Amino acid sequence: MKKILCIGAGYVGGPTMAVIAKHCPELEIVCVDINEDRIRAWQSDDLPIYEPGLLDVVQQVRGKNLFFSTDIVGNIPDADLIFVSVNTPTKTFGQGAGRAADLQYWEKTARQILQYSRSDTIVVEKSTLPVRTAEAMHRILDSRSSGPKFEVLSNPEFLAEGTAIADLESPDRVLIGGPTTPAGQKAVEALAAIYRHWVPAEKILTTNVWSSEMSKLAANAFLAQRVSSINSLSALCEATDADITEVSRALGMDRRIGGRFLQAGVGFGGSCFKKDILNLVYLCEHYGLHEVGAYWQMVVEINHYQQRRFVHRMIQSMFNTLAGKRIAIFGFAFKAHTSDTRESPGIEICRELVEEHAQVVIHDPKALENAAKDLHDLPQKQLVFESDPYRAAEGAHAIALLTDWPQFQTLDYRRIFQSMVQPAFLFDGRNLLNHADLFEIGFNVYSIGKRPLSHLD
Ligand code: NAD
Ligand code: UGA
C-alpha cells in the first residue's frame, strides 16, 4: 500500500487524513474535494474548520505526506485505497424526502472511481450510510466485466466535533466491516494494518459490512436517545421540585447506566444525530417495522419539543412578550469548541425569537460567520452579530446561553448585569453557570430542569 486518496475534505475527511498521515509517514495521502474554497483553506493556516489541535497536526504533515487538491479524477488512477467521506445529508425531494439519505454525492463518487481507476482498489465508506449501501456501491463498481477489481469496506467514523483529534488519536474502537470472501478479508487486513500504527489491535473490531453500517447508525441513535431521555425528564423536573442535575448524577452513578451524555440542555444539534435517526426510521419503515421506527422518531420529536419549550419559557417569564426586547444569545455553535452550527438549537431558537419581534444579538467565540449564513433570510434589522460578549449584553433584557463554551463561566456577570435593562433575565440553556451567584447579583435565573430563581415572585 502506497497511496491513499480521500474524497471529501470536510469535518471527517480532513482531520482523519491528517492523523493517518501523522502516524503513517510511509504513505502518501491526498485529500480531494469539489469545493475549491475549502481546499484553498486546507492549504493555508486558516483551516476551513475549527478543531482544537488540528492545525498543529496538519502543519506537521502537510506538504510531506499529506496533500490537499481539487483534482479528483487525476488522483484516482494510482490510489491503492480510497476513503469516501462526502456528505450524506437528508434527502429534501422525492421519495423518502425529509428522512432517507441523499446518496447523489456518494453515487457520483462511486461512478468516478469506476471510470478512472486503473488498478485493483480498496474503497472504504467513511461517510455514514444506510445499511446495505456498500452492497450497492459494490454493484456499481462491479458493473464492468473486465478491468480493476474493487473491494468495498465500511469503516464508519465515530469522532465528535470539538474533540476530533483526541478521538482519532485514541478511539474507543475502530470498526471495519468487510466481505467474508478471501479478497474481502485481505482488504480488511490492509485497512486494519493502517490503524495498527497507533491503535491497539484489540480496539480494532471487524464485522460483516452490514453490521458495521448498522452499528454507526445505532451508536448515534443511542447517544441522541440519552440526550432526549434526560431532556424529557427535565420538563418533568420543572413541573415538580426535582432538579435535573441531581437526577442525572443519581442515574449516572449506576454503572449500568453510566454518567456520560446525561447533560440536559436546549437539545442536541450537529450534522448527524437527526439525519442518522431519520435514516434509521426510514429503514425501519422500509422493512415494515413501524413500532421500531416510531420509537426512534420520538427521540427527534423530543429534541424539537425541548427547543420550543425553552422559547416558551422565555416568553412566559418575561411578562408574555418579547416584542422590541433585546435578547443576547451566548453561543450559537451546536456545542463548545467548534465553529460548526449545523442543526444547532440556536438556529430554531433565534428564528422563534425573531418571529416574536425580539431584537436578537448573537455572540459566539467561533461561529458568528456560520450563524450569519444560517439566519441570512431573516429580517436583518432584528439581528446583530457581536464578537464581544459584554457589548452583546449591553442594554439587553435577557441573556440566553445556548452553547457550553467554558469561557462563558468566567465572564464578569456583575458588570454584565449592570449594563442590562432591569429586571434582567438569564436563561441558561446548558446549566453551565453558577445560578446561585447570578441570582445574588440580581438576575432572574431560568435554567433547564430546575426551579427558577426569580426576584419577581
Ligand atoms: P462535510 O460536509 O463537512 O464534508 C463533506 C465534503 O465532501 C464537503 O467538503 C463536500 O464539498 C465534499 N463533496 C461532496 N461531494 C463530493 C464529490 N462528489 N467529490 C468530492 N468531494 C465532494 O461533511 P462531514 O461532516 O465531514 O461528514 C461526512 C460524512 O461523515 C457524513 O456521512 C457524516 O454523516 C459522517 N460523519 C460526520 C461526523 C462529524 O462529526 N461531522 C462524524 C462521523 C461521521
Ligand atoms: C456525535 C457523536 O458523539 C460521534 O460519535 C459521531 O461520530 C458524530 O456525532 C457523527 O456521526 O457526526 P457530535 O455531533 O460531533 O458527535 O457531538 P456530540 O458530543 O455527540 O454532541 C451532539 C449534541 O448533543 C450537541 O449539541 C451536544 O451539546 C448535545 N449533548 C451531548 C447534550 O445536549 N447533552 C449531553 O449530555 C451530550
Mean pLDDT over residues 399-406, rounded?
A: 98
Q: Is residue 191 over pLDDT 90? A: yes
Instruction: Give the pLDDT confidence of 352-388 residue by residue, as tens digits.
Output: 999 999 999 999 999 999 999 999 999 999 999 999 9
Let me know whether 312 and 200 are in one domain: no
Determine the pLDDT at residue 422.
Answer: 97
Q: Which residues line ligand 2 (CB under 6 A)?
A: 128, 157-161, 220, 223, 227, 261-263, 265, 268-273, 334-335
Within-domain flag for 395: yes
User: Band of the pLDDT at 146, cuts 50, 70, 90?
Assistant: confident
Mean pLDDT over residues 252-280, rounded?
A: 96
The CATH number of the domain where 438 resides is what?
3.40.50.720
Distance CA 219, CA 214 (A): 9
Let me know whether 312 and 425 are in one domain: yes
Domain final position from 178, 205, 232: 205
Within-domain flag for 420: yes
Q: Count the domains in the chain.
A: 2
Q: 40 C-alpha to center of ligand 2: Å?
A: 28
Minimum mean pLDDT among 62-66, 114-118, 399-403, 428-432: which range? 114-118
Closest residue to atom 30 of ligand 2, CA basis: 268
User: Band of the pLDDT at 99, cuts 50, 70, 90?
Assistant: confident
Q: Is residue 88 over pLDDT 90? A: no
Instruction: Give the pLDDT confidence of 415-437 residue by residue, as tens digits.
Output: 999 999 999 999 999 999 999 99
Instruction: Give the pLDDT confidence of 444-455 residue by residue, as tens digits.
Output: 999 999 999 999
Within-domain flag for 215: no
Q: 300 C-alpha to center of ligand 2: Å?
A: 14
Within-domain flag for 226: no
Q: Name the residue of 272, 335, 342, 373 to mutate for ligand 1: max ligand atoms within 8 A of Cβ.
A: 272
Within-domain flag for 380: yes
Determine the pLDDT at residue 96.
Answer: 82
User: Band of the pLDDT at 204, cuts 50, 70, 90?
Assistant: very high
Mean pLDDT over residues 251-265, rounded?
A: 97
Range of the domain at 109: 3-205
Q: Is residue 35 over pLDDT 90? A: yes
Mean pLDDT over residues 42-65, rounded?
A: 96
Q: Is residue 1 over pLDDT 80? A: no
Q: Is residue 132 over pLDDT 80? A: no
Q: Which residues are catalytic?
A: 272
Q: Determine what percent of the chain is predicted with pLDDT higher than 90.
A: 89
Let me know whether 65 and 179 are in one domain: yes
